[in-house]
């Protein structure tokens, strides 16, 4: 699920993707194995978010898979607010 649009909004305008807390991450690779969209990768010895906009908007399933609780997402209420604003901005013009 590479870039593109979500609800007619350019995906790269939607700030929904995981952030890894380096202090908590054990670099076990669970998130890499779990995410089928290639959001995560191992870079040398650290787990990184390498394709943030491949993340499915609203999905935070990898967060619950992380035993060290190192993965965080924005609050879903904030996502809803941002999506409303962006939908108004990117709504197709009639006529």
Distance, in Å, from the CA atom of 36 to the CA atom of 93, rounded to the nearest integer, reads 35
pLDDT of residue 24 exceeding 80, the answer is yes
> How much is the pTM?
0.87
Q: What is the pLDDT of residues 56-92, one digit of tens each?
A: 999 999 999 999 999 999 999 999 999 999 999 988 7
Domains and CATH numbers, the chain: 5-89 (3.30.70.20)
| CA-to-CA dists, residue 19 to 70, 90, 95, angstroms | 8, 26, 41
């Amino acid at each position: 699920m590479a870039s593109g649009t979500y609800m007619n909004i350019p995906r790269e305008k939607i700030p929904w993707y995981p952030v890894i807390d380096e202090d908590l991450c054990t670099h076990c690779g669970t998130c890499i194995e779990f995410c089928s969209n290639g959001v995560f990768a191992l870079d040398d010895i650290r787990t990184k978010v390498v394709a943030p906009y491949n993340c499915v908007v609203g999905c935070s399933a990898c967060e619950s898979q992380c035993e060290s609780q190192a993965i965080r997402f924005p609050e879903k209420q904030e996502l809803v607010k941002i999506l409303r604003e962006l939908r108004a901005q990117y709504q197709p013009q009639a006529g």
